Amino acid sequence: MVEISWEQSVAILTMKGATPWNVMDRAMLEQLGAALPEVVAQGARAIVLTGAGRVFSAGGDVHAFNALAQEGADALSSGIGMLMEEFGNPIARFIAGSPVPVISAVNGPCAGGAMGYALAADIVLCARSAYFLVAQVAQLGVAPDLGINWVIARALGRPRALGMALLGDRIGGEQAEQWGLVWRCVDDTELMPQALACAHKLAALPKDAIAECRRLVDDAAHMSIKESLAAEREVQRSLVRSSFFREACAKFAAK
């Protein structure tokens, strides 16, 4: 299940599975996919995504996959394909393009497809006890999914992304920070306070500025400098019209 709680205008979504590993079974995916747009519609200015207990999520429901496998290869292939297209992939797309900022608070092990969700957020914080594990290739003989390839390639570059994906080694929280996979690794007790502090800070900023900043950063990966500069100019011409910018300029001028 996915528990929803609020701290002022910040929505906190907590993945809470039937087992302590917070496996992303179909019910979890359905609820998370519904909860994300729901809290935005209810007025959330920022979202914090985390896991219950000491685990963020171990990823997909391998027990369900095994049950499908008993029905044959075709049933397994079509079942997993449907699960990804109807439930799994839309969540990754929503997080990456959310109209409000998303902060991941990775409180423990984060494996498999859960990594795609955690790392697609705008700000990723992790506890020192956390680790990241791309298990699909090394343990299951399938490809990373649910956005993992997209996020780790951009965060790490090809050598580290492929090493992480192919070898299936655990990447601890401190190493993840050193590699640039996350924004910051913090003491376990400080994870939620710092995640909420980030969320409240972002919630106070103009939504358009955050959305355009995210888009410019994402698009810059496949733009020339000339194209990126032109895109920045057009975005800036629009954003400087806001009352937030005019009031900020007046405050600076008054100093």
At 147-161, the pLDDT tens digits run: 999 999 999 999 999
Average pLDDT, stretch 102-116?
A: 97
Residue 162 CB burial class (10 angstroms; 0-12, 13-18, ≥19): middle
Compute the distance between CA of residue 35 and CA of residue 202 in angstroms, rounded to an integer: 20
Compute the distance between CA of residue 154 and CA of residue 120 in angstroms, rounded to an integer: 10
Q: Looking at the domain covering 2-203, what would its CATH class be?
A: alpha beta
Query: Is the Cβ–Cβ distance between 88 and 69 less than 8 Å?
Result: no
Q: What is the mean pLDDT of the chain?
A: 96
Query: Is the Cβ–Cβ distance between 144 and 134 less than 8 Å?
Result: yes
At 188-205, the pLDDT tens digits run: 999 999 999 999 999 999
Domain with CATH 3.90.226.10 in the chain: 2-203
Query: Is the Cβ–Cβ distance between 130 and 225 less than 8 Å?
Result: no
**Cα separations (Å) of 248 from 6, 17, 45, 224, 236?**
29, 45, 20, 31, 15
Global confidence as pTM: 0.93
